């Protein structure tokens, strides 16, 4: 990292281009269909488009997880020591970091400490059938059974026991390697499923390597019912009870996010997105909407000024913003400009500049509906 890029509060007004490595640039001759397979995007493909990203006015790239994974998106980790060969090598990743920094672009890595793929050797060894090594790295409700606790009920994703000091050290070691290579910030996937002491310790270790590293979390309770509350970690007993009573007591995303003040540097601001979409769905515009501005200001006032609220209009787990705007490009542009004016970190999902949209919501019972949001970039356009 060049010394010139070390600036106090560098993250405060950053413009982030959020991409999935597999779906961004594979030098496709024929655009692949968005299916639940690897489509060919690579780290070299990202490197080739650094000037393109910078030309759009972005100052950072947030990329999907890079470790060897059973799936294209990177969230089903098989090996925490290697870059997925579909994406490239450690040398390719170092090249991405170095060239991005030379162009004044920061790199934000999506980091996934919560779970792994069930065929990952580190988990397979913990099964009684395989000797039960490091069994306490995961959650087994019964000592004499290989039945394990899986991430939010996804049966192929065993959940790590991040109260175990050995697991904490393991995960910190993997993150520290990325920090030493030059990663500037970390997005912690499903932070709500990880103990507060672990998150605090992770942040402290990373910032001991470089004080300007930013660690922020995905703290989102959408779609998680009380039956899975045992998997989640809350700052207080009252917050847990509030979550369990969410069918009768309105559950506040704002309160949930604010609980991470002092533990993380910031969070992805789902509450902001909810406020914005409420106005859009009510048929009210964005430009000149004083009610919206007042709601947003009241929302921001709930947090300390130095807590990083990462604003976004959509991401790889939500409907596309153009769809939410009823395919009204002008309305979408108003939402983008309004968000930029707020002088907060702003994350922009790849393909929005190409007017990527969807035909129906991904929040239905259809398997792999999120693939509609995760289409490959069409570089012929």
> pLDDT digit string (tens) for 122-148?
999 999 999 999 999 999 999 999 999
Average pLDDT, the chain: 95
Tell me the C-alpha distance between 242 and 259, whole Å.
13
Q: Give yes or no for residue 5 having a pLDDT over 80.
A: no
Looking at the chain, the whole-number percentage of residues with pLDDT higher than 70 is: 97
Residue-level pLDDT at 2: 42
**pTM of the full structure:** 0.96
Question: Which residues on adjacent β-strands are paired with residue 111?
Answer: 188
**pLDDT (tens digit per residue) in 9-48:** 999 999 999 999 999 999 999 999 999 999 999 999 999 9
**Composition of the chain by helix, strand, coil, percent to 5:** 40, 15, 50
The mean pLDDT value for 183-203 works out to: 98
Q: Give yes or no for residue 94 having a pLDDT over 90.
A: yes
Give span(s): CATH 3.20.20.80, the chain. Answer: 3-114+162-372
**pLDDT (tens digit per residue) in 318-351:** 999 999 999 999 999 999 999 999 999 999 999 9
Q: Give yes or no for residue 249 having a pLDDT over 90.
A: no
Q: Give yes or no for residue 359 having a pLDDT over 60.
A: yes
Question: Which residues on adjacent β-strands are paired with residue 61?
Answer: 17, 107
Task: Tell me the torsion sign for CA atoms 63, 69, 72, 75.
Answer: negative
Structure-token pair, residue 89: 């090598």
Q: Give yes or no for residue 6 having a pLDDT over 50.
A: no
Look at the block and give the residue holding tokens 């009684």. 128
Question: Which residues on adjacent β-strands are paired with residue 160?
Answer: 138
Question: Which architecture, in CATH terms, is 3-114+162-372?
Answer: Alpha-Beta Barrel (3.20)
Q: Give yes or no for residue 4 having a pLDDT over 60.
A: no
Angle between the 90-102 and 165-181 helix axes, to the nearest 10 degrees? 50
**pLDDT (tens digit per residue) in 250-279:** 668 999 999 999 999 999 999 999 999 999
């Amino acid at each position: 990292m060049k010394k010139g890029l070390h600036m106090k509060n560098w993250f405060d007004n950053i413009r982030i281009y959020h991409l999935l490595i597999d779906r961004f640039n594979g030098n496709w001759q024929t655009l692949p269909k968005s299916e639940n397979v690897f489509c060919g995007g690579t780290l070299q493909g990202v490197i080739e488009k650094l000037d393109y990203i910078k030309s759009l006015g972005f100052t950072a790239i947030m990329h999907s997880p890079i470790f060897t994974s059973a799936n294209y998106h990177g969230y089903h980790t098989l090996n925490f020591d290697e870059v997925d060969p579909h994406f490239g090598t450690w040398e390719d990743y170092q090249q991405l970091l170095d060239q991005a920094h030379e162009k004044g672009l920061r790199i934000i890595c999506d980091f996934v400490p919560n779970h792994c793929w069930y065929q990952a050797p580190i988990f397979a060894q913990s099964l009684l059938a395989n000797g039960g090594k490091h069994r306490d790295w995961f959650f087994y409700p019964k000592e004499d059974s290989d039945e394990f606790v899986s991430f939010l009920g996804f049966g192929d994703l065993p959940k790590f026991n991040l109260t175990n000091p050995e697991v904490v050290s393991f995960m910190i070691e993997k993150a520290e390697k990325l920090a030493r290579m030059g990663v500037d910030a970390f997005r912690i996937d499903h932070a709500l499923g990880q103990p507060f002491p672990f998150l605090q310790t992770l942040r402290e270790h990373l910032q001991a390597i470089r004080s300007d590293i930013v660690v922020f979390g995905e703290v989102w309770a959408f779609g998680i019912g009380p039956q899975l509350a045992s998997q989640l970690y809350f700052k207080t007993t009252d917050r847990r009870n509030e979550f369990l009573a969410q069918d009768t007591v309105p559950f506040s995303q704002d309160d949930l996010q604010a609980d991470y003040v002092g533990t993380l540097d910031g969070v992805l601001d789902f509450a902001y997105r909810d406020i914005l979409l409420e106005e859009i769905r009510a048929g009210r515009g964005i430009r000149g909407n004083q009610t919206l501005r007042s709601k947003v200001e009241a929302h921001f006032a709930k947090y300390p000024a130095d807590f990083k609220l990462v604003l976004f209009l959509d991401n790889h787990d939500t409907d596309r913003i153009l769809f939410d705007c009823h395919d009204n490009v002008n309305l979408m542009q108003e939402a983008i400009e309004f968000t930029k004016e707020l002088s907060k970190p702003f994350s922009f999902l790849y393909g929005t500049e190409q007017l990527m949209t969807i035909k129906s919501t991904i929040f239905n019972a259809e398997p792999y509906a999120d693939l509609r949001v995760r289409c490959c970039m069409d570089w012929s356009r």
